Amino acid sequence: MALPPHAADWMDRAEIDYIGPFVKAWAAFNAWYRHASGENTERAMLNFAVRHHNSRLRRRVLPLLDNGNATAEAEKLKLAICNLQQSLDDIHFEVTPKGRTERVSLREVCINPKHLQNEVMERNGQRYVANKIQGGHIEITVTSLATGQVKFTHVQADYDANDVYAQPGFTNDLSVAQQTNLRQFYDTCNPRPMTDLVQGGGPNLQIAIMQFLCSAEELLAGLVETLYAMRNALLHGEVDPDEQVLACYEPAYRIVMRFLETVR
């Protein structure tokens, strides 16, 4: 016998929504790393939490990620991490930090953001430069060290390597060797290089039923960045109230709670 309408309505309302608990847990986590770091910017605060040797989070979470740690505390954290990535694998959850489209996933996460300001490389008689200019634009130039001749120049509003390599001058004015050098140089200038922590070629970490090919330090950094992206997506109105998207916030909430338990 089917449920009557009012019973079905109450059943729908009985579904647990982890958005609120996640936001509250992150607020507590935010208050901790803000206080513990003593830094002034969000980026510096997050870097302290995952990289500084005096970070309580780092000292206490890294042992929990060790392959030999089978304590209840470690197993809870590993299960939540596994559930989070499996949930993210089921969907294509995207966010747009500063206009860039990025997927929320431990398979594509920026754990080493770079501050591009004035990058220079000299090789085989050429100077390769990527320089921040007025308005925040990036000017890329290739100049002969011998003659001072500018062989290639291009200005772009934001970092976009493919846009540089698609310019006619890249192919027409640079030799094949110079094209290769410029590619190698400008790829290293990427302010948000992405890392695959699942199949990245690093050491094997057994996280519940999933294997991650990365170090424990990289996984911790990737987790914090992924959770931070999920938090920002909520605050910026980028979260679609889709059941599969919302389901990602349950394991995310459990991970943040595990973090809080380690630093309290």
Separation between Cα atoms, residue 80 and residue 192, nearest integer Å: 26
Residue 105 bridge partners (DSSP): 108
CA distances to 43, 117, 243, 245 from 257, rounded to whole Å, are: 21, 37, 22, 20
Separation between Cα atoms, residue 62 and residue 4, nearest integer Å: 51
Give the chain's domains with CATH numbers: 17-112+194-263 (no CATH), 118-187 (3.30.67)
The confidence score (pLDDT) of residue 99 equals 76
Residue 120 bridge partners (DSSP): 129
The answer to whether the predicted template modeling score (pTM) of the entire model surpasses 0.95 is no
Helix (H, G, I), strand (E, B) or coil at 202: coil
For residue 132, the one-letter residue type is K
The confidence score (pLDDT) of residue 10 equals 62
Helix then strand then coil, in percent of the chain rounded to 5, is: 50, 15, 35
Say if CB 160 and CB 99 are below 8 A apart.
Answer: no
Residue 210 bridge partners (DSSP): 207
CA distances to 49, 69, 201, 262 from 74, rounded to whole Å, are: 19, 6, 23, 11
Alpha-carbon dihedral sign for residues 99, 83, 223, 186: negative
Separation between Cα atoms, residue 21 and residue 250, nearest integer Å: 9
Residue 161 bridge partners (DSSP): none
Tokens encoding 61: 């979470």
Separation between Cα atoms, residue 17 and residue 199, nearest integer Å: 31
Separation between Cα atoms, residue 152 and residue 157, nearest integer Å: 17
The confidence score (pLDDT) of residue 97 equals 81
Nearest to 127 by CA among 166, 182, 170: 182
CA distances to 14, 105, 149, 233 from 82, rounded to whole Å, are: 25, 12, 54, 21
Nearest to 229 by CA among 87, 53, 17, 26: 26
Q: What is the pLDDT along the chain (264 residues), one digit of tens a residue?
A: 577 776 766 666 566 789 999 999 999 999 999 999 999 999 999 999 999 999 999 999 999 999 999 999 999 999 999 999 999 999 999 998 877 889 999 999 999 888 888 999 999 999 999 999 988 899 999 999 999 999 999 999 999 999 999 999 999 999 999 999 999 999 999 999 999 999 988 899 999 999 999 999 999 999 999 999 999 999 988 888 888 999 999 999 999 999 999 999
